[in-house]
Amino acid sequence: MLDFCDFPSSEKALRFFEEFSKIPRGSGNTKAIADYLVSFANTRGLEVIRDESDNVIIRKPATAGYENRPGVIFQGHTDIVALKTPDCPIDMAKEGLELYRDGDFLRARGTTLGADDGVAMAYALAVLDSSDLEHPEFEAVFTSDEEIGLLGATALDASALRGRMLINIDSDEEGIFTAGCAGGARVDISLPIKGKTHIGQIYTLTIGGLLGGHSGIEIDKNRANSIKVAAEILSKLEGVKLGKVTAGSADNAIPSDAIVKFTSASSIFEISAAINDVKEALPEGEGDAKFNIDMHISSAKLMDKEQSANIISLIKEMPNGVTRMSEDIEGLVETSLNMGIIKLDDKSAEITISVRSAKGEEKAKILAKINEIACSHGASVSVRGEYPAWEYRKESHLRDVMCRVYRDMYAKDAKVVTIHAGLECGIFSDKMEGLDCVSIGPDNRDIHTPDERLSLSSFDRVYGYLINVLKNL
């Protein structure tokens, strides 16, 4: 017989979310949020561990009657994908988010909301702060720099953890329990460039308003990639000389914007025609995409036509999107890659690609293909942030309890899935023998974009659900 408490309010968790949203916490900028978590623990007399990577572990003793039950871990990451709209004045490296409510949704004005993965922090802090909730020994693990390669989880000394049941709160659809995920890696491509000063007519191509999205979740939805789109336009022009190019700011986000400075032997009419041709060929659903071409007289450093053609060719030849679907699970992406960032100036072209695969041999194949194409264009390749796949566990006490609690509370079954997106569960499972993991979360839409929005009703329900899971483990 399951033991239920009344559906507890998530008001405290939401207050914590609003409080720490005032702290900048983009990837690579996690010191301040780690300081906040350590202060939170010290103020409440809780055991806390912080490492050099800004990972934080906070431990709370079991409540009365739960001392002999196995401990449980809530786990999430502190960093966010810090993206904003072109007209947003917020400096996300120094300023917090401006939250507002839009009906049932919580949003941030002009920026990503950070519910990925602020939800995990908010839930864990509410449990740690509670005096009236029942639970076994409770450990909250807050990892850093998940969004740029699961770096914090990789660096964490997991031997400090006592629990062997881990609930990762980094999924974005209520009622979906994730029990396995793909592994992956980041690939950096670098090509040296020699720019020369050009004085005269310069074109600026601006692409904006593409749908973008999370490269592990929306990669199979045929969304346009602004880097590939820009290369397609440029390939239709004559005598292109590239200047500064910027697109994308996170390798695991499908880039939705790009700015390209260039000269061309093609006329403005031919350039406009090329833009229209590419715009008309965009995938269905990209109707809000905006293309603008400006011409002005100025001075800029440009590479020559041969270098420019080489880079355009490299981008066009590089595979992007889904390369293989799973043969075992219908509709599941097995292998994909996302060209997420390009930065080009008068000294170098730097491209970053996120690779994902549920199978190690397929990941190796796509990494070899990237290397082959890059090297054929004179570029160097380095691989970083490799992480293992999280294999589905056939027998799981944690999953069984979570499914039973869900069924009794919601009067329907949860859906148990494996996914293509990378989760830190793979790293923790690799480090901690016998670890039992499940990943869940409330409804959160358009993550990794400034349109990210969290359903407040779902946030409330999932919090109440998790409290009852803790009571029944």
Are 419 and 182 in contact, with CB atoms under 8 Å apart? yes
pLDDT at 409: 94
Are 357 and 183 in contact, with CB atoms under 8 Å apart? yes
**Distance between CA atoms of residues 264 and 343, nearest Å:** 20
The tens digit of pLDDT for each residue in 70-102 reads 999 999 999 999 999 989 999 999 999 999 999
CA of residue 225 relative to chain centroid, distance: 16
**Distance between CA atoms of residues 353 and 342, nearest Å:** 9
Going by pLDDT thresholds of 50, 70 and 90, the confidence category of residue 6 is low
pLDDT at 338: 97
With a cut of 70, say whether residue 49 has pLDDT above it. yes
**Distance between CA atoms of residues 465 and 342, nearest Å:** 42
Are 104 and 457 in contact, with CB atoms under 8 Å apart? yes
* pTM (global) more than 0.75: no
Q: How large is the average pLDDT for residues 334-350?
A: 95
Q: Please report which residue ranges of 130-196 form alpha helices under DSSP H.
A: 151-155
With a cut of 90, say whether residue 385 has pLDDT above it. no
Q: Which residue has the tokens 């090509």?
A: 191
For residue 443, the cross-strand partners are none
Cis peptide before 172 (omega within 30 of 0): no
pLDDT at 418: 87
Q: How large is the average pLDDT for residues 463-470?
A: 97
With a cut of 70, say whether residue 2 has pLDDT above it. no
pLDDT at 7: 57
